[in-house]
Structure 1
Amino acid sequence: MSLKFDDQGAPFIEVGPDVCLKLDLSEYDDDAECVRKAREELRETPEVVQESLRELRSLLKGWYKFKANKKFVTDDMSTNRIRVALEEKIVQLLPTRDQHGRRIIFVEMGSKWDCSKVSYPELVRATQAMIIIALLEPRTQLHGIQFVASFDRMSLAQLVQFTPKFAKLSVDCSQKYTPMRTKELNLVHNSEVFNVMFKIFKPFLGQKWNKRIHFHGNDMNALHKYIDADCLPISLGGTLDDPEIDGKVMADFVEQYEWHLKKLNSYGYKEEEK
């Protein structure tokens, strides 16, 4: 398995005979169903342009104020800083979308996560970078993102990474400041150790996110009520028997969008001279 490029120079990873990971940067203007969805769910109409721009400006200010105050997670959003998390396959962008056209981000927070190699802030940074890259796709902006997080054999060593400070930071980052449509957060293999961890996060969750978090334990059939089995790998009880994407290849794929991460890193509030 290796990184390849199409005739236009766009990177892709060929996973199986009919499956590949490739960003779709095309607009959906000629897709009547997408246009309808944008109009009805996102209110993307000419009449609300000015209102939407004001809201966008407010969101951008919020993000960059957050970024300025939380540099230990949001600074230097680069492939170099997140490469180990990608190579260890802790954060993965699955090659297939779900049945509603949503991108699926899979985070391994159990036995695969070696805290000595990847700290919790680095895991948050890697997840944020993956979201930012996925949001280059107009269809992902429209349909949103599905999250699946596995806590298989989560240990006490991992639990101590989740201090209340970091819990609030990661929830605020995703819940308030990241410009994405989070459709569902599907949690699998949630053990007793996980239950202790979740008690740290719960006070910081808003009403909307509380409604979108689903606990499936080891019941993959429960997961498939939200994401069809034919959209998921065998490790999640799915029917896709294609090999898992090699972590180093995933890191190389993300690196092709380093230009976008650098561009976003260059924006923000100027620091006052002391």
Structure 2
Amino acid sequence: MLGLYRKKSLDDVFDTSEGALPFRLQRVADDELGETSTRRKEALEKLEQLISEEPDFNVSKDKDFLLRFLRVRKYNVDAAMQSIRKYYSDRAACQSVYCDFLPSTITPAARILTMALPGKDAHGRLVLLVKLGAWKPQEVSHTLFQRAGLIVLEHLITDPTAQTLGVCLLMDCHELSVDHVMSLNVGLIKRVLQYFQDGMPARLKAFHVVREGRAFDMLYCIMKPFLKKKLASRFRFHGYNFEDFHKEISPQILPEELGGQSPALDFDAFWSEMDQLETVFAANSRCGYTRKRVNDFATEEEIEKSLEFF
């Protein structure tokens, strides 16, 4: 006798429980991260328990915040906890960048250097644009420039897309000079690369470099000792050959100077949206290691001293 057919409900097909991803991302999360409603619930409980056992550590208990770290570490709870420690220890040790980690501190000259592109790459990833060659060190310090880029990145990684499909970084090096490279702080470069690899609760899947020249070769030599094999393999150097580049990021979301077809990028509109998130950034800045633990981490000055060979 044939069994009776029962029409599946939406809950049978899609995860609709608390903390579930949008439907379009659930299959990717299941296949690549091993995320299910049961595993998500169990992992959150274990991670919250580990956090509660950590002395002098004020971590946001917001489930969406904790899920970022679980997803980027593919639900390895211990690895997620280690990333949370790294996320906050970087903030504690790098006070010049994080002491005023607020959109309101980003000056107009810094705001035209970085933003999120209005669309996604060919793989559905969010794209962070950094206009390194347009940077004027006499107007914007390396510290402020790095803060601006990290604020944009911090905003992007709240999107579940970044936690599942990943983030793509696009660096435009047009007019990058040796003077630019000499104005960079090696300690800050080391810090941000460590954050990308160990503390960032998102998957950095591609690092596209365009319109680069000899000055970028010099910069890459500085970066290379701090790159793990996995991140180094994700660099793509396009120069002025946009054919392959446009296969990864469509001309439809790129400005004319990058061979694109979209209108000029509206940095003002983007940063106006960021200004609306001031209270969110302020609340997150109140979390982390308590003041008496800050001395446990290497300071920027100590890192600089250890890098004097450069």
Instruction: Give the TM-score of the pair, scaled to structure 2.
Output: 0.72
164-173 vs 215-224, which deviates more?
164-173
Native 8 Å contact 2:88 2:289 kept in 1: yes
Other structure's SS at 2:273 match: helix
- Give the CA deviation at 1:192: 0.8
CA RMSD of aligned residues (A): 2.2
Other structure's SS at 1:162 match: coil
Give CA deviations for 1:26-80 in whole Å, capped at 9, x if unaligned: x87562x421101111221224643544433221112111211111122221012
Other structure's SS at 1:272 match: helix
- Give the CA deviation at 1:95: 0.9
Match of 1:92 among 115, 130, 133: 115
Q: In the alignment, does 2:121 pair up with 1:101? A: no
Q: 1:53 & 1:244 partners in 2: Cα distance?
A: 40
Other structure's SS at 2:119 match: coil
Q: 2:39 & 2:285 partners in 1: Cα distance?
A: 32
- Give the CA deviation at 1:144: 1.4
Structure 1 unmatched ranges of 5 or more: 1-26
Partner of 1:243: 264
Q: In the alignment, does 2:245 pair up with 1:223? A: yes
Instruction: Give the TM-score of the pair, scaled to structure 1.
Output: 0.81
- Give the CA deviation at 1:143: 1.8
Aligned residue pairs, count:
243
- Give the CA deviation at 1:99: 2.6
Match of 2:287 among 243, 259, 267: 267
Q: In the alignment, does 2:196 pair up with 1:174? A: yes
- Give the CA deviation at 1:86: 4.6
Match of 1:102, as an amino acid?
R
Higher helix proportion, which one?
2
Partner of 2:273: 253
Match of 1:41 among 21, 32, 38: 32
Distance 1:140 1:165, change over 3 A: closer
Name the % identity. Answer: 24
**Larger-Rg structure:** 2
Partner of 2:81: 57
Partner of 1:207: 229
Match of 1:127 among 149, 153, 160: 149
Distance 1:221 1:105, change over 3 A: same
Other structure's SS at 2:139 match: coil
Distance 1:86 1:256, change over 3 A: farther
Q: 1:100 & 1:86 partners in 2: Cα distance?
A: 29
Partner of 2:12: none
Distance 1:166 1:271, change over 3 A: same
Q: 2:281 & 2:260 partners in 1: Cα distance?
A: 32
- Give the CA deviation at 1:130: 0.5
